[in-house]
A and B are shown apart, each in its own frame.
Chain A
Amino acid sequence: MINAFLVFNGQGQPRLTKFYTQLDTSIQQRLISEIFTLVSNRPPGSCNFLPLPPLLAASGTSSSSSSATEQNDVPAFVTYRHYATLYFIVISTSTESPLALIDLIQVYVEALDRLFENVCELDLIFNFETLHATLGEMIVGGVVIETNMEKIVAGVRAQGTVAKRPVNEGRSGAGGTMGAAMGAMAGGFQGMGGNFVWHGR
């Protein structure tokens, strides 16, 4: 099962947090910052998996000698992908396939790209409801329910909520500096569909 799905940017600011078990807000934040520390110190050419952050490892699988079946309930993998300015993180148990999780993140990002047309961090900041809706079409309660791009996109559109990028909303009169900031950030996901050879789909 999937324990959590997180998106944060290169400064560690969360853009989406979804925990499939109830967790205190403060502990959520600690976990995010621990993972951010781990993920931001990766040398180039590293794999897409992180060691368990201290918060999870302390009570987790690595040292304890509990039976193999018990371990299927606790987080075992922290999988991440890095696109442009954003990190996408999946925390999952060992019943998930690690390589498939990498693909799952890819599907999610591609779905967002389809929905927003050339998605960038700014879209995600201002439309975090859509982020949640898209994720909700893929994962419910920690179980993957859909991996087909068309169906995911159709599911989100059926809710009729895909907003345009705020720049086009004509409310920009108040924020002079915003335009420049947006322009700078609208680089899009350069890494998309890049260096990975397998495709689980």
Chain B
Amino acid sequence: MPRNLGSAVGGLVLAWSELPKVHCGSRFEKSLYDLIRGLRNHKGNEKEYIQNSLKECRSEIRSQDMDLKATALLKLIYLEMNGHDMSWASFHVLEVMSSQKYHQKRVGYLGAIQSFRPDTDVLMMATNLLKKDLAASLPTLIALPIASLPHIVTPSLALSLLGDLLPRLTHSHAAIRKKTVVTLYRLALVYPETLRAAWPKIKERLMDKDEDSSVTAAIINVVCELGWRRPHDFLPLAPRLFELLVDSGNNWMAIKLIKLFATLTPLEPRLVRKLLPPLTNLIKTTPAMSLLYECINGIIQGGILGEGEDFSAREEIASLCVSKLRGMISVNSDPNLKYVALLAFNRIVTTHPFLVAEQEDVILECIDSEDITIRIKALDLVQGMVSSDNLLSIVSRLMRQLKASSAALAQQNGLDDEPLETDSSDEAGNGPKQRTKSKEQAPPLPEDYTIDVIGRILKMCSQNNYSNIVDFDWYIDVLTQLVRIAPAPRARELESNSAPTPKLAADVSERIGNEIRNVAVKVKAVRPAAVRAAELIVSRLNTETASSRPVVTGALKPLAWVVGEYAYQLLSPDDTLRSMLDIAPRVEYPEVLATCLQSIPKLFSHVAGDDQALWTAQRKSTMSLLMARVIHVLEPFAQHPYLEVQERAVEFIELLKLTAEAASGQAPSTDDLQQDAPLLLTQAIPSLFTGWELNSVAPAAQYNVPIPDGLDLDEPLHPNLGRLLAQADSLMLPTQGDDEFEVYYNQKPPATAISSGPAIERLLDAPEEVAGSYQQAGEESYLDADIIARRKAERIERNRDDPFYILGSTRSEGTSTPIHNILQKENGPDLDIDAIPIMQLDLEKLNIDNGASRQQQQRPKSKSRQRIVIEADETLAGSGTSTPRHNYESENNSDSFTKSKAKKLKQQSLLQFDSSHLRDLSLDADRPDDGFAHERQQREEAEMAQAMKEVQRLRLEMQRANERIQVAQGVPVEGIVVKKKKKKSSASSKVKTAVTTPEGEGGEGSAVKVKKKKKKTVEAAVEGGVEEQPVVKSKKKKAKRVVKLDDDDGQNNEGSQATAAVDDGQ
């Protein structure tokens, strides 16, 4: 009791202390208008101004003056829009919501809409307020809770308000009816049982032909949302929907109806025949482009284009649709139409790819659109259309974009192209600069987009185990170019978090590198070219990045593997070894470094391990120097915190030290005495890296390895492993001073190319000569000049012995003759050169057909194709997931498999409406409830009974409180008590009746309220008390209000008594 009195007095003091402020407040308080004006006047130091304003709002919103409170709330809502959290004010929002004045109430409801979050805990207290407002007489007032509910609704709130909301479906104002329909839908999303009660009434509204057109339209919108979840339930509505489609004349609604029908037709094919005439009619006549588009879209989505009996009509409508879409997408049309037509094509392509393939020309144009939205959509589409015929042109377009963008980017960054061209010939040096200038106006593409496009290029090319690639040399050149274009990974994305963050940029260059490696492994015919490309990239990496800067590209990892594994294919193993030695200390990522460390000894063994050459004094000193250099590079890594790196470094250092010893001990051969090189150098080290041929293995192959009999994986390795490990830990701890160690041990074991990479192959015999390529016109527009120059040189080299290849003037001393040129000029390219014997030819290697086709340079595809063998992934029988489609994703990173798995556990998207609950709910009244629904209902009833018990308990408590007050005032209580008892008996079974109970009480309360202010206070307290959990808070609030009333009336005694009683009651 003393405590209660104290709080009451405290409240009184508070009220007094605030009094002056309320009176003089008008001078200091700010309206929203003032706030905004102030914001605009404080440009520069807005932050400070906002902080001050927030502080003011904090005190103002605690004020007893509702006007001040509401104004403060409005200001807070405005600031919330600008990103200033107001979740702390949720209780005050509730206070303003309960204001008697409409304009204040409206602010309160707006505050609730804008600031309530799933974790807002005051919501439970709002239930009665919402009930009361839903029962208000003024339509504008009713609209407030109806419009706010979708934003704040929770399952329990939905449960308790459903009974109050349903009658609003028959409100006399159409505006209320249409809002109610939508709100009921949102209730159903969180509490599906809503529909069971609401759907019959909504349906009644829909069927009513005299219903206001806006209400019908709103219902259609809702049905359209429900329709795709449960199309079966809405089939019976089809006649009415059809009627609305034909007669309504409301385009907005027609759009939704067509969307709805598109989900219904797959279930009821007979609808198609009924729908075709009106749809065709709409397509031909409507002036509204949006409706026209949705008609076409509906026809596509509803599967109306497809098979069926009425062939001619379908044919007609199919060609009508496609021609309209083509019109939308063509070059000069409105960009919005282009976008939506691409959307439509994206839908058609899954079911009718041939219809889309016919439009390839216009779709390809869209890839070059300036508008990224359109580009991405076109790319989505193109990806599904790619074939060996169009791959080259599609990729060329994309490459051109990327090239232009990276050039623009380089210019923006003030980077000069000059150093990039150091290793290219003079002739090539001028090319890129000119192009850079000509493309100056194109802004650089966003990085995300660049990465996306690179990913798509790789995907398109590697699809179906490279079945679309005709010319692998071209592909390797494209990859080489891509490595240069790929955006550099932003500084240290890896460091901050070891775990699975999408390190996009690093990832993409690694994927490019993986492709080069895959080609080198899988396509033996082009392995030399691939290895040379890798060599070139590695040497560029070395020269290009300043010696102080770290090397961050992820491409290095697979490329280092390639140059190491296929060292014998390198043009200059010595230079490559030197490059690798230069690069290794600068490598940023430990996984990459581990692979580099592995490739260095491989290269070394190739350079040094020649067992034929004499062990001369010169060789001896060279070798010693080389080994000293390698050891010098490796030595720092022996202390590397990353285990994989450390282990490899230590191994190789020790091995090389031994070898160096052996080498220094071996005297060089002299003129009279032949000495062999130390065996360690020529035999031992090379034998480490040669052996079985390694092939590419399907990603899932490992899962198909049968577990041998007698292998029990559950059996512990050691009966007392735990203790052993504990011992090991305690032993290690003191020695482990370095924190870095800890960090790395706790990180996930990263994949390394060696352990998890694809299988490796060793080439046994010399590679076959690569089939001739043809030059795609405009290739130089996306490949760097040096790549083109190299390409040209290679081509010339390759064709040097080819009598049918006409060399350029620079190399005219070759085999071609003037006569040859003349003949070709006069007779055109179709000339049958075979018929003209010019000189003795060595045709051993070439068959004549091939030569001729190369001469024509028209369709060498099928010919060259035959000669390229692409190894398939190796797998065991029964492997379900070994499709090569995933190959580049899953081949390298062992963790990519788990990554993709994790991706499947899809997290919920932002802004997502979760309507999945609706799936389980049946709207069909005739259908008996299935077990599941029934079970749930029972459970809910049990919950309800529990809740009712709780309510009952609180009621009793409040009743006690009431009695005390009423004893003090001399008012009888019987009426209320009796009513409650009645409710109790009826409420036990049905949810809805239970829900309505408090309403009746509230109604009664308001009836009494009129009489006496005092009485009203009591009623409010009772109402607040009906809540279950937040009783405490609500009590406090009521208590304050009581105090305030007392203040006004000057009746301190009774007021404090009431407070005491209420507090006691809890």
Contact = CB atoms under 8 A, between A and B. Distances in A.
Interface stretch (B16-24, B164-172, B371-379, B1057-1065): B371-379
Interface in A148-201: 148, 151, 155, 158-159, 161, 166, 169, 171, 174-175, 177-178, 181, 196-201
Contacts of B294: 97, 99-100
Contacts of B182: 140-141, 143, 145
B222 A143 contact: yes
A126 B33 contact: yes
B290 A200 contact: yes
Contacts of B224: 95
A31 interface: yes
Given A47-B338, A143-B222, A75 B151 contact: no
Given A56-B910, A178-B40, A25 B370 contact: no
A84 interface: no
Contacts of B370: 43, 45-46
Name, among B37, B291, B340, the residue most crowded by chain A CB atoms within 10 Å (CB to CB): B37
Contacts of A151: 175, 214
B107 interface: yes
Contacts of B750: none
Interface in A1-37: 1, 3-4, 13-29, 31
A140 B106 contact: no
Contacts of B33: 126, 166, 169, 171
A175 to B, nearest CB: 5
B49 interface: no
A48 B139 CA distance: 37
Interface string B718-739: 0000000000000000000000
Contacts of B906: 59, 64, 66
Contact of A126 (B36, B336, B443, B915): B36
Given A95-B228, A129-B110, A177 B910 contact: no
A72 B228 contact: yes
Interface in A81-140: 91, 93, 95, 97-100, 102-103, 125-126, 128-129, 132-133, 136-137, 140
Contact of B37 (A91, A95, A178): A178
B225 A22 contact: no
Interface residues of B, number: 92
B150 A69 contact: no
Contact of B183 (A46, A91, A141, A169): A141
Contact of A20 (B115, B151, B175, B178): B151
B199 interface: no
A197 B289 contact: yes
Given A47-B374, A158-B139, A129 B107 contact: yes
Interface string B148-167: 01111000000000000000
Name, among A16, A46, A56, A174, the residue most crowded by chain B CB atoms within 10 Å (CB to CB): A46
B995 interface: no
A54 B452 CA distance: 12
Contacts of A15: 81
Interface in B10-48: 32-33, 36-37, 40-41
A158 B915 contact: no
A161 B443 CA distance: 46
A22 B118 contact: yes
Contacts of B37: 174-175, 178
A3 B218 contact: no
Nearest to B254: A200
A33 to B, nearest CB: 9
A93 B913 contact: yes
Contacts of B78: 128
A73 B335 contact: no
B295 to A, nearest CB: 11
Nearest to B289: A198
Contact of B151 (A24, A25, A51, A141): A141
Contacts of A31: 910
A75 B909 contact: yes
Contacts of B179: 140, 145
Contacts of B178: 145-146
B144 to A, nearest CB: 9
Contacts of B113: 18, 132
Contacts of A73: 909, 912-916
Contacts of A22: 116-118, 151-152
Interface stretch (B82-90, B401-409, B971-979): B82-90
A190 B222 CA distance: 35
A13 B82 contact: yes
A143 B219 CA distance: 10
A25 B116 CA distance: 10
Name, among A47, A125, A178, A181, the residue most crowded by chain B CB atoms within 10 Å (CB to CB): A47
A143 B106 contact: no
B336 A48 contact: yes
B81 A14 contact: yes
Interface string B89-104: 0000000000000010
Contacts of A48: 335-336
Nearest to B502: A58
Nearest to A171: B33
B186 A51 contact: no
Nearest to B380: A62
Nearest to A92: B911
Nearest to A132: B110
Contact of A74 (B339, B446, B909): B909
A47 to B, nearest CB: 4
A150 to B, nearest CB: 11
Nearest to A161: B103
A146 B291 CA distance: 17
A144 B221 contact: yes
A70 to B, nearest CB: 8
B909 A59 contact: yes
Nearest to A44: B370
Name, among A43, A198, A201, the residue most crowded by chain B CB atoms within 10 Å (CB to CB): A198
A143 B218 contact: yes
B288 A198 contact: yes
B672 interface: no
Nearest to B297: A97
Given A75-B911, A75-B912, A136-B147, A25 B84 contact: yes
B312 interface: no
Contact of B372 (A51, A146, A181): A51
Contacts of A175: 37, 41
Contacts of A1: 225, 913
A129 B106 contact: yes
Nearest to B260: A95
Contacts of A70: 916
B192 to A, nearest CB: 15
Name, among A64, A69, A73, the residue most crowded by chain B CB atoms within 10 Å (CB to CB): A73
Contacts of A141: 147, 149-151, 182-183, 185-186
B140 interface: yes
B916 to A, nearest CB: 8
B497 interface: no
A16 B74 CA distance: 13
B251 interface: yes
29 contacts: A15-B81, A21-B913, A22-B152, A25-B83, A25-B86, A42-B371, A46-B373, A49-B336, A59-B906, A69-B229, A73-B913, A75-B911, A97-B259, A98-B340, A99-B290, A99-B340, A132-B110, A137-B175, A141-B147, A141-B182, A143-B185, A146-B178, A151-B175, A171-B33, A178-B37, A198-B287, A198-B292, A200-B291, A201-B288
Interface of B: 32-33, 36-37, 40-41, 74, 78, 80-87, 103, 106-107, 110, 113-118, 139-140, 143, 146-147, 149-152, 175, 178-179, 182-183, 185-186, 214, 217-218, 221-222, 224-225, 228-229, 251-252, 255-256, 259, 287-294, 334-336, 338-340, 343, 370-374, 376, 443, 446, 448, 903, 906-916
Given A25-B87, A151-B214, 8 more contacts: A1-B913, A19-B911, A46-B374, A60-B909, A97-B259, A143-B221, A199-B287, A200-B251
